[in-house]
């Protein structure tokens, strides 16, 4: 998330730009939310890799923060009036859809997933949100959107959760990735030229030095090393 200050979607000359991974996905799946999650006016329908500073100038093609996310920008940094999100209805329905798919909750997971997507469209204030969402869901043959005939329905549930919450609760989605393995994306940062060994999504935070200083016995028992970013947690994939 980013504040829209002084009429610009930047702060201290740092632009907030859509990541190439999500933009490519939204374009590939013809997702109607793309223009609400990101400002894609005047052909701005491409993204930038995280950390690729040299190509971060918005110019004429890179998408910025969209109107569905930046609902009520403040006239000044101290006068924000946009409500904060605790938990959206869309997140609740995604959780219910997964629980139903796993047999932990009664109900039809496909119906619950469709409702979750409808709520995502509604939150973004897309006109005729329900009908547009239903058409997007029903017409898609992509297993990252519609789980019909998919051997892994969870894939669509988590991918759609990723889209719905990507600009709202990134930390939650990082946990979803570590827990489920979805989205199963590649090249999350910098560029595709980076070696595969380094271009991975971290699976954990590393303990800070203060923990080694104050809690060394327990921290050392974890056997964490300096390259432990790629070591999964006990509940992760």
pLDDT at position 6 is: 34
Same domain, 94 and 170: yes
98 and 155 share one domain? yes
Distance CA(85)–CA(164), nearest Å, equals 13
Q: Do the domain assignments include residue 155?
A: yes
> CA torsion sign, 182 to 186 to 191 to 197?
positive
172, 206: one domain: no
Amino acid 61: pLDDT: 84
Give the per-residue pLDDT at 66: 86
98 & 169 share domain: yes
At residue 122, the pLDDT reads: 96
Token digits of residue 167: 């600009």
pLDDT in tens, 61-75: 888 888 888 776 556
26, 41 in Cβ contact below 8 A?
A: no
141 and 215, same domain (yes or no): no
Q: In the chain, which residue ranges form alpha helices assigned H by DSSP?
A: 20-28, 34-37, 89-101, 109-123, 129-139, 153-165, 170-180, 209-214, 216-221
pLDDT of residue 230: 78
Cβ(177)–Cβ(207) below 8 Å:
no
Does residue 154 share a domain with residue 213?
no
In terms of domains, do 220 and 168 share one? no
In the chain, which residues have pLDDT < 50?
1-7, 9-10, 193
What pLDDT sits at residue 5?
32
For residue 134, the model assigns a pLDDT of: 98
DSSP state of 42: G
Domain contains 58? no
Same domain for 142 and 212: no
Q: What pLDDT is attached to residue 2?
A: 33
Q: Are the beta carbons of 20 and 49 closer than 8 angstroms? A: yes
The first and second tokens of residue 146, run together, are: 């519609």
Residues 115 and 168 in one domain: yes
Q: What pLDDT is recorded for position 34?
A: 95
Question: Structural domain tally of the chain?
Answer: 2
Evaluate whether residue 153 is within a structural domain. yes
In-domain check, residue 30: no
- Rounding to the nearest 10 degrees, give the CA dihedral for residues 59, 65, 70, 76: -50
- Asked whether residue 226 is assigned to any structural domain, the reply reads yes
189 falls within a domain: no
Task: Dump pLDDT digits (tens) for 3-34.
Answer: 233 345 445 555 678 888 899 999 999 999 99
pLDDT at 149: 87
Is the residue at 105 inside a domain? yes
Question: What domain range is 208 assigned to?
Answer: 202-237
CATH number at residue 162: 1.20.120.840
**Res 175: pLDDT:** 93
Q: Which pLDDT score, from 0 to 100, does residue 49 have?
A: 79
Could you tell me which residues come within 8 angstroms of residue 45 by beta carbon, excluding any fewer than 6 positions away? 23, 27, 34, 61, 63
Structural domain contains residue 233:
yes
For tokens 């910025």, the residue is 64
Structure tokens at 11: 């702060």
């Amino acid at each position: 998330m980013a504040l829209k200050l002084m009429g610009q979607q930047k702060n201290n000359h740092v632009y907030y730009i859509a990541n190439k991974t999500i933009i490519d996905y939204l374009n590939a799946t013809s997702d109607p939310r793309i223009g609400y999650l990101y400002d894609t006016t005047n052909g701005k329908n491409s993204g930038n890799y995280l950390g690729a500073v040299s190509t971060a100038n918005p110019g004429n093609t890179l998408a910025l923060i969209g109107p569905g996310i930046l609902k009520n920008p403040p006239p000044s940094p101290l006068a924000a009036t946009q409500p904060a999100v605790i938990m959206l209805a869309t997140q609740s329905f995604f959780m219910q859809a997964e629980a139903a798919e796993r047999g932990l909750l009664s109900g039809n997971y496909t119906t619950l997933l469709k409702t979750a997507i409808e709520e995502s469209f509604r939150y973004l204030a897309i006109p005729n949100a329900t009908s547009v969402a239903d058409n997007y869901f029903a017409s898609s043959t992509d297993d990252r959107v519609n789980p019909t005939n998919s051997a892994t329905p969870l894939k669509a549930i988590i991918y759609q959760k990723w889209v719905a919450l990507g600009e709202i609760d990134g930390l939650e989605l990082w946990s979803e990735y570590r827990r489920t393995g979805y989205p199963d994306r590649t090249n999350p940062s910098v560029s595709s030229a980076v070696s595969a060994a380094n271009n991975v999504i971290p699976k954990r935070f590393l303990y800070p030095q203060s923990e080694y200083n104050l809690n060394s016995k327990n921290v050392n028992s974890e056997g964490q090393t300096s390259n432990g970013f790629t070591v999964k947690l006990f509940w992760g994939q």
